[in-house]
Amino acid sequence: MTRFLHHKPRIVQIVSVKNETPSVRSLSFKDELSLEAKPGQFIMTWVPGADEIPLSLIPFDPDGLARIAVKERGEGSKSLLQSTKGDKLGIRGPYGNAFTHTNERRVLMIAGGTGTVPLLALLNALVSEDIECNFILGASTARDLLFAAEIRTLVGKTGGILHVATEDGSEGERGLATDLTAKVLKECSFDRVYTCGPEVMMRRVFDLAQASQTPVEAGLERIFKCGSGICGSCCIGPYLACKDGPVFNGETLRGLSEFGSWARDHSGRRVAVGT
């Protein structure tokens, strides 16, 4: 019954809207099923008159609200960015596999862009697990660092460190998040690495984790139309990213030749990752 309820579309009302960066806004709403989501899972979000799009969830909130973060990438997200407090949205889910943890004592998270959202959800979940969480947050410039203050506070509670990399050097170290990842992995050992963001970045993180023999999990993004493994639009190798992912472990990623190289667009045509 619970699984069926997750599939059933439902209407929620936006409780608050916040500008997180010049290009990203977060929307908060009340929904019991969304609050049950695990870090890395997503919901299909329907904007009346526009489109239905997948968005990662932050289910942990002191006010009992779930959050999504939106950046313009198409008609659906553009319409969603115009939403205001009191507007209604259609949602279903949560869907997909989540990040995992077992007996880890020290972990490293590497995030870029809106890939910060599922890793913030993971960080929230691990704060009470007596796990030292270290975080590398990357962006092109300081103003694009997403949820930096919130992450810094949570990381501090675990005894970990927040490392920041900006391409223009406006905050933290100048360069890419992957440059900083290589440096941190040489200086310290971790029980597990988690990453989410641009796929080229994640592929580099994966390679670095493999070189240091550190278990790794990555949250992949593909074209999600149904969100529940029916349409096949999100195929990657023999898997469906919406159902078998979006979080994949290192063992599975090793067998996916297209990881970090190519994906499929809305028409199913092969395109280079990042285009």
Instruction: Read off the pLDDT of residues 213-269 as tens digits, 9 standing for 90 and up.
Output: 999 999 999 888 888 888 888 889 999 999 999 999 999 999 999 998 888 888 888
State pLDDT tens for residues 32-42.
999 999 999 99
Same domain, 164 and 248: no
Same domain, 109 and 189: yes
Residue 80: pLDDT over 60: yes
pLDDT of residue 158 exceeding 50, the answer is yes
What is the percent of the chain with per-residue pLDDT over 90, rounded to a whole number? 76
Q: Which residues contact 136 (CB under 8 A, 6 or more apart)?
A: 108, 109, 110, 111, 163, 164, 165, 177, 180, 181, 184
pLDDT in tens, 193-219: 999 999 999 999 999 999 999 999 999
Dihedral Cα 157, 132, 245, 261, nearest 10 deg:
110
Q: Are residues 261 and 167 in the same domain?
A: no
Residue 271 has what pLDDT? 87
Do 255 and 154 sit in the same domain of this protein?
Answer: no
> What pLDDT was estimated at residue 268?
83
Residues 119, 204, single domain; the answer is yes
What's the rounded mean pLDDT across residues 108-131?
Answer: 95
- Check which CATH number belongs to the domain holding 156 and give it: 3.40.50.80
Determine contact, residues 42/54, Cβ cutoff 8 Å.
Answer: yes
Average pLDDT of the residues of the chain:
92
Instruction: Decide which of 42, 76, 95 is a domain's last residue.
Output: 95
Residues 203 and 234 in one domain: no
CA proximity to 82, closest of 17, 38, 2: 17
Is residue 243 located within the same domain as residue 134? no
Integer CA distances (angstroms), 53 to 50, 59, 227, 257, in order: 10, 18, 9, 26
Burial class (CB in 10 A: 0-12, 13-18, 19+), 150: middle
Residue 109 has pLDDT above 50, yes or no: yes
Higher pLDDT, 180 or 230: 180
Which of 95, 125, 160 is the last residue before a domain boundary?
A: 95
The verdict on 89 and 103 lying in the same domain is no
- The parent domain of residue 228 ranges over 221-275
Question: Which residue among 60, 95, 130 closes a domain?
Answer: 95
Residue 29's CATH number: 2.40.30.10
Looking at the structure, tell me whether residues 116 and 226 fall in a common domain: no
Are 110 and 214 in the same domain? yes
Number of domains in the chain: 3
Give the whole-angstrom CA distance, residue 128 versus residue 230. Answer: 36
